[in-house]
């Protein structure tokens, strides 16, 4: 006998009324949702092999337990297929990890979104986009997995705009912000393998993040040229006062140019780290650092992040076009760190 679902039931006359009920209750992100019937919720739970009362995460600052049932309800509303639900579960485990530190990115006026990077066999099986139009619309898996996580944050954790979520501007990634690494074409070690997993494992990495910043370089035929443009753009990006981490997303043309010079991800991180320092004088002149300019401030430098390891490098994006992107992490120093979780599925 399957365990009973404990969430409250609502009687409606038809599909349209069910959708309007969700709007009236404030359960949507502004777009229509799929009504979460018991059959649909159970299909989600079965796909992840979880009991309804299984605790996926505990959000300490909110004193809220995210159960599998509540997560499944929101995944249904987001439009997920059942086979997507294990990815949602992994992402929720990630944002519930103390290293991710939910309270900051979930409430800050800086308006962070949850960037999710999927690695491993599941990315290909579910056709999570890693190529053309990487951050754009058109892929159900990308759109609905990210939407499910945001609905869980809204409806279970209480991160509603104007209430707990105090984002001044926010950005479109707060609707959904999911990509996969293009492991098939990449010449480099995948992100999850760099982080201690095997290539055959599937993972999701969550990073509290600003919007993607696109940069362009069609002139260079060398790794140094492309990375110099990237570093110069990054150096004056974001808050430039020691954000915890950055992600660099290198698309096809730039990936091939950089790899053609024999550069590995470790080389990319080191090059970018060393060339994204700002002088204290510059930071003071631009009102990013307090105090008057002192002798020596022109040569006294501040790094963009604490170490090269705080730069995540991901191969993803279209094969054509001399464009790539970098994504500043939320806040400063060690306030929130990216977290990678294994995506587990029942055998």
- Summarised one tens digit per residue, pLDDT across range 197-246 is 999 999 999 999 999 999 999 999 999 999 999 999 999 876 667 678 99
Q: What is the DSSP string of 39-97?
A: HHHHHHHHHHT--TT-EEEEEGGGTEEEEHHHHHHHHHHHT--GGGHHHHHHHHHHHTS
Cα–Cα distances (Å) from 81 to 130, 134, 145, 256, in that order, read 19, 20, 9, 34
CB contact set of 330 (below 8 Å; sequence gap of 6+): 104, 105, 108, 110, 112, 208, 209, 210, 243, 244, 336
Backbone angles phi and psi of 301, in degrees to 5 = -110, 150
pLDDT band at 1; cut points 50, 70, 90: low
Q: How far apart are CA 51 and CA 4, in angstroms?
A: 9
Per the prediction, the chain carries an average pLDDT of 95
Residue pair 84/147 in contact (Cβ under 8 Å)? The answer is no
* Residue of 217, 181, 199, 245 lying closest to 322 (CA atoms): 217
Q: How far apart are CA 252 and CA 132, in angstroms?
A: 10
CB contact set of 198 (below 8 Å; sequence gap of 6+): none
Residue with tokens 């009362």, as numbered in its chain: 53
Q: Is the pLDDT of residue 190 over 80?
A: yes
Query: What is residue 240's predicted lDDT score, i.e. its pLDDT?
Result: 61
Radius of gyration of the chain, Cα coordinates, nearest whole angstrom:
21
Q: Is the pLDDT of residue 336 over 70?
A: yes
Query: What is residue 237's predicted lDDT score, i.e. its pLDDT?
Result: 78
Cα–Cα distances (Å) from 225 to 32, 219, 273, 278, 303, in that order, read 46, 8, 15, 20, 21
Q: How many CB atoms neighbour CB 300 within 10 A? A: 13
Q: Is the pLDDT of residue 187 over 70?
A: yes
Do β-strands 64-67 and 278-279 pair in parallel, antiparallel, or remain unpaired? unpaired
Backbone angles phi and psi of 188, in degrees to 5 = -115, 165
Residue pair 268/186 in contact (Cβ under 8 Å)? The answer is no
Query: What is residue 124's predicted lDDT score, i.e. its pLDDT?
Result: 98
Query: What is residue 332's predicted lDDT score, i.e. its pLDDT?
Result: 64
Query: What is the tens place of the pLDDT at every residue in 83-116?
Result: 999 999 999 999 999 999 999 999 888 889 999 9
Residue pair 90/119 in contact (Cβ under 8 Å)? The answer is no
Query: What is the tens place of the pLDDT at every residue in 70-79?
Result: 999 999 999 9
Q: How far apart are CA 291 and CA 285, in angstroms?
A: 10
Burial 121-145 (b: 16+ CB within 10 A, else e): ebbeebebbbbeebbeeebbbbbbb
Structure tokens at 179: 């990509």
Query: What is the tens place of the pLDDT at every residue in 36-65?
Result: 999 999 999 999 999 999 999 999 988 999
User: Which 3 state secondary structure label does DSSP give 329?
Assistant: strand
Helices (H) and strands (E) in the chain, counts: 12, 12
Q: How would you classify residue 137: left for phi > 0, otherwise alpha for psi between -120 and 50, otherwise beta?
A: beta
Give 283's DSSP letter. Answer: H
Query: What is the tens place of the pLDDT at every residue in 248-301?
Result: 999 999 999 999 999 999 999 999 999 999 999 999 999 989 999 999 999 999
């Amino acid at each position: 006998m399957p365990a009973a679902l404990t969430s409250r039931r609502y009687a409606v006359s038809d599909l349209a009324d069910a959708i309007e009920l969700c709007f009236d209750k404030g359960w949507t992100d502004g777009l229509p949702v799929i009504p979460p019937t018991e059959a649909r919720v159970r299909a989600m739970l079965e796909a992840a092999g979880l009991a309804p009362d299984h605790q996926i995460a505990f959000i300490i600052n909110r004193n809220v337990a995210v159960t599998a049932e509540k997560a499944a309800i929101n995944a249904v509303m987001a439009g997920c297929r059942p086979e997507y639900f294990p990815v949602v579960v992994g992402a929720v485990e990630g944002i519930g990890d103390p290293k991710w530190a939910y309270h900051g990115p979930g409430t800050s006026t800086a308006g962070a979104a949850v960037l999710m990077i999927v690695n491993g066999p599941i990315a290909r099986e579910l056709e999570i986009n890693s190529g053309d139009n990487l951050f754009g619309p058109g892929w159900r898996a990308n759109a609905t997995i990210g939407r499910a996580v945001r609905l869980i944050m809204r409806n279970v954790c209480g991160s509603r705009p104007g209430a707990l979520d105090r984002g001044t501007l926010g950005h479109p990634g707060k609707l959904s912000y999911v990509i996969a690494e293009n492991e098939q074409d990449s010449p480099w070690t995948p992100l999850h393998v760099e982080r201690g997993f095997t290539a055959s494992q599937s993972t999701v990495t969550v990073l509290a993040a600003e919007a993607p910043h696109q940069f362009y370089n069609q002139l260079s035929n060398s790794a140094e040229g492309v990375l110099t443009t990237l570093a110069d753009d990054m150096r004056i990006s974001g808050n430039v006062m020691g954000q915890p981490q950055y992600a660099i997303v290198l698309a096809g043309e730039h990936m091939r140019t950089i790899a053609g010079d024999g550069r590995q991800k470790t080389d990319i991180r080191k090059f970018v780290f060393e060339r994204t320092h700002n002088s204290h004088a510059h930071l003071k002149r631009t009102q990013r650092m307090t105090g008057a300019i002192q002798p020596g401030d022109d040569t006294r430098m501040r790094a963009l992040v604490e170490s090269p390891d705080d730069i995540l490098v991901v191969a993803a994006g279209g094969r054509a076009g001399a464009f790539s992107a970098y994504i500043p992490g939320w806040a400063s120093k060690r306030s929130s760190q990216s977290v990678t979780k294994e995506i587990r599925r029942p055998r």
